Amino acid sequence: MKELDQTKIPNHIAIILDGNGRWAKKRMLPRNFGHRKGAFNLKDIATKCNQLGIGYLTVFCFSTENWKRPELEVNYLMNAPMRYYKKYKQKLFDSSIRFKIIGRRDRLSAPFLKMIEELEEQTKTHTRLTLTLCIDYGSYNEIVTAVKDIAKEIQNGKLTIDEIDEDTITSHLFTKDYPPLDLLIRTSGEYRISNFLLWQMAYSELYFTDVLWPDFDEKELIKALIEYQHRNRRFGGLKDENSTN
């Protein structure tokens, strides 16, 4: 049995949470039950990541395309977090997890926006895991926003076209203060990226599993981390500095 190497824990992992609906369907339950179970699972996985000393966990909760779902489901996804928040607020704060929300903010309801802003403000000095919830997030939207901001800086004379480099793009994304993404996990047997962190994952390791998100427990997380630790990350170079082949 392979074991986790405590000295090679990734600093930044991202997860495309997928399979809540199928988890519920398998049990002949309404889809929202799957989302409920998925939300509880996120709490457990974030707690585990925090214990393991992972610095950043970035999760895809609601995409810019998820508005196409039936109104009832969208309402559930947008309102349920507020109920959990009230219930778990103290516990969340005690764990010293720092919360961030990235994505469009202009389409969120006023009470939801108020909740997430409060959550970010009240945990901003926390020093353990940074848990980022991507809500109304889409990578295309993030890149378009970055391009517009860069164009404005050029217009205002703060930047010249020749000064634009890769760091200029990176530093205008929602994830500007984040370390590089080491590992991306997608659950539920789908082999797609679905408009998630396109720029950030240029050199990430990708891990796909058939396990549905509500079933993705600590054991599955450790399995993914062990697999990650056995990958040979070369970033376009050779195996190691002294390698001749």
Catalytic residue set: 18, 66
Considering beta carbons, is residue 58 or 66 the nearer one to ligand IPE? 66
Q: Does 136 bind Mg ion (CB under 5 A)?
A: no
Residue 15 binds to Mg ion (criterion: CB under 5 A): no
Which residues ranging from 40 to 99 are in contact with Mg ion (CB under 5 A)? none
Nearer to Mg ion by C-beta: 123 or 188? 188
What is the residue-wise DSSP string for 156-172? TTS--GGG--HHHHHTT
Q: Which partner, Mg ion, ligand IPE, none, binds residue 228 by CB below 5 to 8 Å per kind?
A: none
What is the full DSSP assignment across the chain? -----GGG--SEEEEE---HHHHHHHTT--HHHHHHHHHHHHHHHHHHHHHHT-SEEEEEEEETTGGGS-HHHHHHHHHHHHHHHHHHHHHHHHTTPEEEEES--TTS-HHHHHHHHHHHHHHTT--S-EEEEEEEE-HHHHHHHHHHHHHHHHHTTS--GGG--HHHHHTTSTTTTSPPP-EEEE-TT----TTSSTTTTTT-EEEE-SS-GGG--HHHHHHHHHHHHTS---TTS-SSTT---
**18 near Mg ion, rule: CB under 5 A:** yes
Q: Which residue is nearest to Mg ion (CB)?
A: 18
Nearer to ligand IPE, 14 or 146 (CB): 14
Which residues within the stretch 176-215 sit at the binding site for Mg ion (CB under 5 A)? none
Closer to ligand IPE by CB, 136 or 142: give it: 136
The span from the CA of 200 to the CA of 180, in Å, is: 7
Stretch that binds Mg ion, among 13-21, 60-68, 162-170, 215-223 (CB under 5 A): 13-21
Tell me the closest approach of the beta carbon of residue 187 to ligand IPE, in angstroms. 8
Smallest separation (angstroms) from ligand IPE to the CB of 173: 21
Q: Which is nearer to ligand IPE, 146 or 185 (CB)?
A: 185
Q: Which does 77 bind (CB under 5 to 8 A by kind): Mg ion, ligand IPE, none?
A: ligand IPE
Binding site for ligand IPE (CB under 6 A): 17-22, 61-62, 66, 77, 188
User: Under the rule (CB under 5 A), what is the footprint of Mg ion?
Assistant: 18
